Each structure stands twice: as structure tokens, then as C-alpha cells.
Amino acid sequence: MAAGHDRVVRDNVHRDIVLDDDISRLVDTRTFQRLRDIKQLATCHYVFPTATHTRFVHSLGAQHLAGVLLEHLEAVNPGRITPEDARLVRYAALLHDIGHPPFSHALENDRVFANYHHHEKWGKMILEDPDNDLRQALIELVGEDGLARLFSILDGTCELPVLNEIVSSQLDVDRLDYLMRDQINTGAKIGTFDVFRIFRALRIGEDGHLMVTRGGVAEVESYLMMRYHMYHNVYFHKMNALTTAYVIRALVRARELVLDGTLTVSVRMNRMLTDENLSVKDYLALTDSLIHAELSAFATHDDRLLSKWAGMLASRSGMHKSVRVRNLTEVAYWGARDTIEQILTDAGHDPEEDMITTRVSKEGYRPYTDGIQIEDGRDIIEVSELVASITAPLNHILLFVPEDCREAAENAIHEAMAGE
């Protein structure tokens, strides 16, 4: 691309995303391009077939929104954010997800990785690796001091809180982009909000924090309610939870067999499963395509468990069924567990294999310290009954059993709940 010519990316959410020369320099690195092969919603495409969008396009969208918001804040609070910091905030928005493993959050699991780190830790390790092409591009653009400043924006240690809040808060460009993008690409019709109305209501307070004018409260309510329902209806969808469990079980079994010397996998997969000192270079070689290819081979393997879990994903035949008990509690689950295990045993199933549980855990809106501040200094929860109604956390169990045991398992749980 010739110098001085902006690149325009057509996007199904924001229409045109303009990438200037510096952003294009970062986007064109091999490290960033890897995000094309990391789906945003992991196994969600098993439920919503069109949800195949990636961390790549989400990252482009987040930096685009950061640019729009920064322009607005400069107009209403001129000089509060320097041009240098504004550029670094856009870089932070662009690069906030570079450390994601294959299948995004689904594989942030120490049972799968021999060398487990959270994606934010991997992101920092990538940018600290002197041989990494993305780090080298950043050094050429902003120098060592600029990179240190970028880290402070990403981890929230910078002295001006708004710089971090644009990228990581309860009202940040990351969440704003992924909610709009995930709704469009899943086809879910779960409310809406106008991101530009939200931006027009944002200001930088005297304390350096992001705040919302009273006129923007209604639009922020719409955003928070949409987020609430997206978690209930999309992110925590029962089939999403089940397919994630199958992927993890298949990879855990593969790791056991590789360590036993009875399974041969690709070099990249072997390093993921066994290398306790996995390098940044080897980590960046891991993508969704690699995992899908391995799972496809596992589906026809001679090992019964490996082929069972991978085969569920390959054919969707014989998949476990969720017990139809809303908001199953720990108390009710443990009260019925022994009975359900016996039900499965009597039906010829192995409870250790075929009682699959996943825990749904998500904080509600967090007021005050981590909340959304109104221009008069109050938290939005103090002026909005709607927001106050969604502060309770989600915390329940999803239980899956073979279809022929489903009704009996449900009856056992109802009996346990009646005895509480």
C-alpha cells in the first residue's frame, strides 16, 4: 500500500472502517493476521450457524469505535487527551485480543494447555517478545517509551483513567463492538442501542473518569439490557455450553493419550498439550483451523472416548440433552446427584462420562467502583430502576444427560428441590 493512502475496510456493523498507515502497519503483521483464524464466539456457530465472525474483525471494529469516541471527547473536552495518548488508545483497542487462544475463551483452560495463561497475559508476553513482528512494528512507531505507555493503558495503571476506560470498562469500545457484532452475526433479535447516542452523552470528568450526561441514561440502559439478554440467550445458550464441553473433553483425552505415547498429533498440537514452556512463537501457531482439523481426525480414532467426544461434534448424533430445570442450584444438583447417577447406571451409561455439568457464572452490573458514572457523580444504578434490576449475578448449573435418562433426571431434581 502506498504511503499516505488510508485503507477502507467494508464492515457489516460499522460500514466503512478506515485504517491509516500506522494502523495498517500493525494489522498487516503475521501476529495480528492470526486473529482471522480465531472465531469470536468459539463453538457458538454450532447453535447459530452464521456466528463465524472473528477476533480480527472485532478488533478492527473496536479500534474504529475508539477513534470515533476520541474525536468526540476532543470536541467536548479539548486537550484532556493528548494526540499521542489518543493514538495509543486506538492501538490498545486494536490489540486488546491478540493473546486469545483457539476457540477464544473456551480453551482458556489449564486441563488443555500444558502451559496455561489467561489471554491478557499471553497478549503482554507477545508484545514483550523481542522477536515478535507486532512488537517490532510498535517499537518503530512509538518506541520503547510508547510501548510502556501502551501497557499502562491496557492494564489501567496510567494516571488518566479515561484512557483505560475507553478500552476496558463497563462502557468500553470492546463491549460496544462485540454486542453489536455478535447480535448481527448470530441473528439474535435482542433489543438494540445507538452507539453514537451513547458517545454523544460521554464526557471526561474532573477526576479523569468517563461519565455520562443525564440525557444519555436511557441509551445506556438500552445497552445494558441488551448485554444482559445476550448473555442469557446467546453466550450461555445450552448448546454452546455442551459443544464447548465436548471440545474440552476431546482435547483433555487427547492430552492423556499423547502423554501415554498412544496418540500422534501434529507438532503444533503436541506442543500445546505437552510443552510446559510453550514459547510465544509456538503459541501463535495455534488457530481454530488446527483444532478443527485435529478434532476431525479424532472422530474416527480407535480410542473410544476420544472418538466419542470428537464424534459428537462431527455428526451431532446422540448428543446429550439438557435437563429442563430453570436456574438449577448447587443445592438441588447435589441433592439429586446420587439418584441421577443411579438412573444412568441402570440405563447402561457411565455417570462419570455421561453426566456433563457446566457452571454459568456471570456478575451482574457492578455499581460504584466498576460502574458507570453520571455527570452529577452518582452511579447509574442510583438514577435507573432498570439498571438496579440487573445487578444480581448469574450463578447456576447446566446439566446434560443421555436422552433416555432426561425425564427421570428431571424428576429427581424436582424431588430434591421440593425437599430443600
Domain presence at residue 273: no
On whether both 22 and 146 belong to a single domain, the answer is: yes
What domain range is 357 assigned to? 320-420
Euclidean distance between CA atoms 40 and 54, whole angstroms? 5
Domain presence at residue 223: yes
Domain presence at residue 260: no
List, for residues 19-41, the tens digit of each pLDDT value: 999 999 999 999 999 999 999 99
Out of 223-227, 304-308, 315-319, 333-337, pick the least confident. Answer: 315-319
Percent of the chain at pLDDT exceeding 70: 99
The mean of the pLDDT values for the chain is 95
Amino acid sitting at position 371: G
Residue ending a domain, among 184, 216, 235, is 235
Q: What is the pLDDT of residue 1?
A: 38
Confidence of residue 2 (pLDDT cuts 50, 70, 90): very low
Q: What is the pLDDT of residue 370?
A: 78
Provide mean pLDDT across the span 183-197.
94
Q: What is the pLDDT of residue 4?
A: 61
Domain presence at residue 290: no
Count of structural domains, the chain: 2
On whether both 219 and 328 belong to a single domain, the answer is: no
Euclidean distance between CA atoms 7 and 17, whole angstroms? 8
Euclidean distance between CA atoms 319 and 309, whole angstroms? 9
Provide mean pLDDT across the span 165-185.
97
pLDDT score of 5 more than 80: no
List, for residues 60-93, the tens digit of each pLDDT value: 999 999 999 999 999 999 999 999 999 999 999 9
Distances (CA, A) of 10 to 13, 61, 185, 264: 9, 11, 15, 42
List, for residues 254-284, the tens digit of each pLDDT value: 999 999 999 999 999 999 999 999 999 999 9
List, for residues 53-66, the tens digit of each pLDDT value: 999 999 999 999 99
**CATH at 354:** 3.30.70.1370
Domain presence at residue 275: no
Provide mean pLDDT across the span 311-334.
93
Residue ending a domain, among 216, 235, 254, is 235
pLDDT score of 225 more than 90: yes
**CATH at 166:** 1.10.3210.10
Domain presence at residue 162: yes
pLDDT score of 235 more than 80: yes
Domain presence at residue 168: yes
β-pairing, 210-212 vs 373-374, is parallel
Residue ending a domain, among 203, 235, 267, is 235
Domain presence at residue 270: no
Confidence of residue 300 (pLDDT cuts 50, 70, 90): very high
